Amino acid sequence: DDVDCKVLSQDDTDGSSTMVVRYPVGWTRNSPECLLAHEEFLVLDGALELNGRRYGRHAYAFLPAGFVREHARATEGAVLLTMWYGTPLGVPAAQAPAGLYDPRLLVPYVNPLEVDWDPGLVDPQLAKGVAIKPLRTDPDSGETSFLYCSPPHRVPPGMAKPQWTHPMVEELYVLEGEYCWGDLGVMRRGGYCW
């Protein structure tokens, strides 16, 4: 109730969603609690502090369901791109179901400014000139999250790249610049698709 959310997508079957969440200036939590769903986020603006760790602009984390937040605050306010893997219900930490937390899934902190762009992780036939910064790979499903950089003039005006498909969902959020998404149009900063 004390944060603002813009829902970008939501799965009606299990409550999973992607949202832009705004924590107001001075937001705080001082009691140990956990969520009953996995939480993945990238800070778009401001800063969020969890358990004494500061997540500033573009900091990333994946916090599995049951991860205990001893305390949290957004002294200066924060805006996060957040993916919830189920309905994000919070409970006091002492009431978390036994066995909920899986430490193998935890990615406590990534500062993308300290990660090199890697063009070797992208199929050059599909995306010559593209590079990514890996953030997370799920140890069971292989699902990945990464920052993606596409240089200007990669596809000259009037030229079409070959169409392709893949067996998984692709979710995009534009942090900076413009990205032409197939024949669906140009996405700009804040643009989203699933």
pTM, two decimals, is 0.91
Tokens of 116: 């090199």
Note the pLDDT of residue 157: 66
Q: What is the pLDDT of residue 62?
A: 98
Q: Give the whole-angstrom CA distance, residue 61 versus residue 83.
A: 11
- For the chain, 194 residues long, the average pLDDT of each consecutive 10-residue run is 94 96 97 96 98 97 97 97 95 94 98 91 70 94 91 68 75 89 81 91
CA 185 to chain centre: 23
Q: What integer pLDDT is reported at residue 125 of this predicted model?
A: 62
| Residue with the two structure tokens 């899986």 | 102
